[in-house]
Amino acid sequence: MEKLVIASDHAAFDLKQEIKAKLISSGYQLEDLGCNSTESVHYPEFAKKLAEYVLEHKCRGILLCGSGIGVSITANRYPGIYATLVTSKEMAEMSRRHNHSNVLVMGARFIDNGLAEEILETWLNTEPEDGRHEQRVAMIDAPVNKVG
């Protein structure tokens, strides 16, 4: 089965534990990069670890924090990482089909565990579309030309 990596900050530790259990029981090979408790930590450290792991091991990742915003910003600083903050099954599907998301981000303070599991299942089972979407994703990592 597919290899996945997961990380969270303290605010999403409980959600991470729920998701881990579901993934392991479904047969996924899972690497947990922390955090390991609800004790306060700095979210950028875990987002960076996960982004580097995804790039090195060519796998997909799940990244969680209180809002999902901070870890998204941090992870997306890495070329080749397409971290998408998702709050619905529809967004999960579109993030994979159109944006080729390789990192699913969720905010534990804004979704419940049931919805998080539905989002995860949708994201894991949706394949990226080629054609115009592949071209658009390639444009994301292209050098930025300054305007003006």
Q: pLDDT tens digits for 69-97?
A: 999 999 999 999 999 999 999 999 999 99
- Residue 10 domain-assigned? yes
Number of domains in the chain: 1
Active site residues: 65, 98
What is the CATH classification number for the domain harbouring 25?
3.40.1400.10
Task: Report yes or no: 81 and 55 within 8 Å, Cβ to Cβ.
Answer: yes
Residue 52 φ/ψ, nearest 5 degrees: -65, -40
Question: DSSP per residue over 53-94, as a string?
Answer: HHHHHT-EEEEEESSSHHHHHHHTTSTT--EEE--SHHHHHH
Above 80 in pLDDT, residue 147?
Answer: no
**What is the β-pairing status of strands 3-8 and 29-32?**
parallel
- Give the Cβ contact number of residue 125 at 10 Å: 10
- Residue 58 domain-assigned? yes
pLDDT band at 148 (very low <50, low <70, confident <90, very high): low
- Residue 146 domain-assigned? no
Domain with 100, as residue range(s), is: 3-140
- Residue 115 domain-assigned? yes
How is residue 23 written in tokens? 């993934």
Arithmetic mean of pLDDT over the chain:
95
